[in-house]
Structure 1
Amino acid sequence: MLKLTYTERSFYLECLTLSLEEWVAQRVILALRVGQSLSIEPSTASFLLPVDLPGVERLKAEVQRNDSEIIALSTCDVEYLEVTLWGSWLSEGSEEAVGVFVTAMSDRSEFYVHQLWQEAQACASVMSE
């Protein structure tokens, strides 16, 4: 399962071993116990990856083979690839920009997406130094 945590300034992507159903159930139970509102709705999430990262072609092949109904890859320009994921948005309210997006796909696709996102973050931090 992939979990994207959105804050006011950025997002963080994690690859979790729990199933989507287990994680959502735990999150619902937590919200009930602490008296927090929780909205869950179908949604999409998108982010950019540099096209020149090693592994982008493997991700494209895996998506075509197994996960084209959950993930779409679109070339934005010569430098970036847009990754769009279908899944569920969890937040305190349906209009919130801060929350968590979760989705599940093949283990291999999840691994490639997470690995490429980590590499993109490392490249971005090196460039900003």
Structure 2
Amino acid sequence: MLKLTYTEGSFYLECLTLSLEEWVTQRVILSMRVGQPLHFEPSTASFLLPVDLPGVERLKAEVQRNDSEIIALSICDAEDLEVILRGSWLSDSSENKVGVFVTTMSYRTEFFLQKLWLEAQVCASFVNE
């Protein structure tokens, strides 16, 4: 399962070994125990990867082969590739832009996507220094 945690100014992507159902069940139980509302809805999420990042071509092939109903790739401009995911959005209200997006696809694609995202973060930190 891929989990994208959105905060006020950024997001973090991680690959979890729990199934989507197990993770959602845990979140529902936690929300009930602490008395926090939980809004859950089908949604999409997207983020950018550099088009020249090593492995992007392999990601394109993997998506076509296994997960095209869950993930789409779109060239934004000469520098960026948009990764669009279908899944579910969880937050404490329907208007909240802070929350968690979860989706599930083949483990290979999830792991590879996380690897590319982490490499993009490293590249971005070098550019900013």
The verdict on a shared fold, with TM-score over 0.5 as the criterion, is yes
Name the residue aligned to 2:101. 101
5+ long unaligned stretches in structure 2: none
CA offsets 1:23-43 (integer angstroms, 9 cap, x no match) = 010000000000000000000
Residues in 2 aligned to 1:21 and 1:59: alpha-carbon distance in whole angstroms: 26
Paired residues for 1:1-129 under 5 Å: 1-129=1-129
Helix, strand or coil at the partner of 1:36? coil
Residues in 1 aligned to 2:122 and 2:104: alpha-carbon distance in whole angstroms: 24
Question: Percent of counterpart pairs with the same letter?
Answer: 78
Helix, strand or coil at the partner of 2:96? coil
Residues in 1 aligned to 2:4 and 2:91: alpha-carbon distance in whole angstroms: 12
Please state how far the C-alpha of 1:52 moved relative to its aligned partner.
0.7
Residues in 2 aligned to 1:36 and 1:114: alpha-carbon distance in whole angstroms: 29
Please state how far the C-alpha of 1:108 moved relative to its aligned partner.
1.0
Residues in 2 aligned to 1:28 and 1:116: alpha-carbon distance in whole angstroms: 30
Please state how far the C-alpha of 1:111 moved relative to its aligned partner.
1.1
The one-letter amino acid paired with 2:53 is L
With normalisation by structure 2, the TM-score equals: 0.98
The one-letter amino acid paired with 2:119 is E
The one-letter amino acid paired with 1:117 is W
Please state how far the C-alpha of 1:78 moved relative to its aligned partner.
1.3
Helix, strand or coil at the partner of 1:30? helix
Kindly tell me the number of residue pairs found equivalent between the two proteins. 129
The one-letter amino acid paired with 1:16 is L
Q: Following superposition, which runs of at least 4 residues in structure 1 exceed 4 angstroms of deviation?
A: none
Helix, strand or coil at the partner of 2:125? helix
Q: CA RMSD in A?
A: 0.5
With normalisation by structure 1, the TM-score equals: 0.98
CA offsets 1:18-72 (integer angstroms, 9 cap, x no match) = 0011001000000000000000000000000001111111111110011000000
